[in-house]
Amino acid sequence: MKIVVVGLNHRTAPLGMREKLAFPERSLGEALKKLLEHQHIREGVILSTCNRVEIYTVVDGFEEGKAALKDFLEDYHQMKFLEIEDKLYLYTGPEVVSHLFRVASSLDSLVVGEAQILGQVKAAYSRAHENSGTGKILNSLFQKSFRVAKEVRTNTDIAKSPTSVSSVAVELAGKIFGNLSGKKVLLLGAGEMSEITARCLSSSGVTSVLVSNRTFSRAEELAGKFQGRAVKFDKFIDEMVHADIIISSTNAPHYVIKKEDILNIMPLRRHRPIFFIDIAVPRDIEPEVNRIDNVYLYNMDDLKAVSEENLKLRQKEMERCLPIIERETAQFMNWLSSLESAPTIVALKRRAEEVCRKEVERSLLRLGKSSAAEREEISSLARRLVQELLHRPITCLKKQAGKRNGYLYAATVRDLFDLDEFEEGKEKPSEKG
């Protein structure tokens, strides 16, 4: 068994590519079902956010897992793997563990130190667990990642002066206008992202906040928290005539604002400048609106410049976090190796017995006619040689299992003796473990 993750994020792929590979919340259960139908995938969790798409798996072997993930992505998203291959990262073993711990601790976020990602990781794990996608290994890995994230946030200042994608969006608006007091802001969407945005706007002196959402009661609830006003979703275009800034973060699968909508309202605004900040993935606003005079559109990729300033400020704290990540990665891998040492020993013995059997048969054929006693003596000699040769590596595997970096012993033995095909149960890859 191997743990493997394939994914892309804000550093490796542009927004357009992340949109193509995104898994909308409403279809995540179906995606998990299709993922787990692949015979070599034993466990799976899909993490899909505005800045990353990652699939964590437990697979029969690295090559089998890689091929299964490739097939899944091609089938589910109806695209050729070659179109995205250079944007993806593929990790296995301790790299997977370290990566997830960094992700959950917000060290890999566009906005380092933001709190939302941990909730998103927990939600992804819960959805997979509900859909029978997790077993012993991913249950332990994700539960461990939650504890690591808590330790990082508790024992370092990485989350001091909390930040988020929403706060960076508001910061960008502040850079554009200088002073947000007196500006009229329209929020599209009433989820967690919009609530954080509203809180940041309020802290920045904005007093006129409109909230529009498909579920009007949610818009009313959010607007009420910030002395704002709720707008019915089929009326928000009319409100854009008077708004200075529109910040959009709905979960719509298509554009909710199109170029023709803006062309229609600009004369009514007397072509006064209007600013859009689209923090949804997939995007809410048709990119072509940016070509209209006095219309300025910013998306997730445009937030990078602002977030890089945040990264510089938190660099020292990131360095304090890394020893925690390294320590906990080693501990998890040692636990994993304690699970793997037994099947590694079994596979090693099976490998040796197979070689022994073939060589004894070959020797007996070369010898020609021989007595039963002679044949038994040759077989016995071969078995004793195998036992003697394997005694030391097997003793070391048992001794190192669970120790610091003990997983390296099992991994080395498996690679040296090419044991994957001799793993117990390998002949029945279609049976889910």
Q: So what's the pLDDT on residue 405? A: 65
Q: So what's the pLDDT on residue 412? A: 86
Q: How far apart are CA 187 and CA 189, in angstroms?
A: 6
CATH among 3.30.460.30, 3.30.70.2860, 3.40.50.1100, 3.40.50.11260 for 2-159: 3.30.460.30
pLDDT in tens, 279-308: 999 999 999 999 999 999 999 888 877 777
Same CATH topology for 2-159 and 165-307? no
In terms of CATH, what superfamily is 165-307? Answer: NAD(P)-binding Rossmann-like Domain (3.40.50.720)
**Catalytic site includes residue 50:** yes
Q: So what's the pLDDT on residue 433? A: 38
Q: So what's the pLDDT on residue 369? A: 80
Cα separation values, 105 from 149, 158, 197, Å: 4, 9, 21
Joined together, the tokens standing for residue 288 give 């072509």
Element (DSSP H or E) covering residue 379: helix 372-400
Residue 402, phi-psi category: left (phi > 0), alpha (psi -120 to 50), beta (remainder):
left
**Residues in contact with 24: Cβ distance below 8 Å, sequence separation at least 6, in sequence order:** 48, 251, 253, 282
Q: How far apart are CA 363 and CA 160, in angstroms?
A: 72
Joined together, the tokens standing for residue 415 give 């690679």
pTM for this predicted structure = 0.75
Q: Is the peptide bond before 282 cis (omega within 30 degrees of 0)?
A: yes
Phi, psi of 42 (to 5 degrees): -95, -35
Edge-to-edge strand list for the sheet holding 2-9: 41-48, 52-59, 2-9, 89-92
pLDDT in tens, 347-400: 899 999 999 989 888 888 888 888 888 888 888 999 899 999 999 888 888 877
Domain range summary for the chain, segments of one domain joined by +: 2-159, 165-307, 340-422
**DSSP readout, 226-269?**
TT-EEEEGGGHHHHTTT-SEEEE----SS-SB-HHHHHHHTTTT
* Catalytic site residue from 50, 321, 356, 396: 50
- The residue among 247, 82, 262, 79 whose CA lies nearest residue 166 is 247
SS3 403: coil
Give per-10-residue mean pLDDT for the chain (433 aa).
Answer: 93 92 92 95 96 95 92 94 92 96 95 90 97 96 97 88 80 84 92 90 88 96 94 96 94 93 96 92 94 93 77 82 95 84 86 90 84 87 90 85 70 84 51 39
Q: How far apart are CA 257 and CA 154, in angstroms?
A: 41
Element (DSSP H or E) covering residue 52: strand 52-59
Q: So what's the pLDDT on residue 431? A: 39
Q: So what's the pLDDT on residue 404? A: 61
Q: How far apart are CA 373 and CA 147, in angstroms?
A: 62
Joined together, the tokens standing for residue 225 give 């928290």
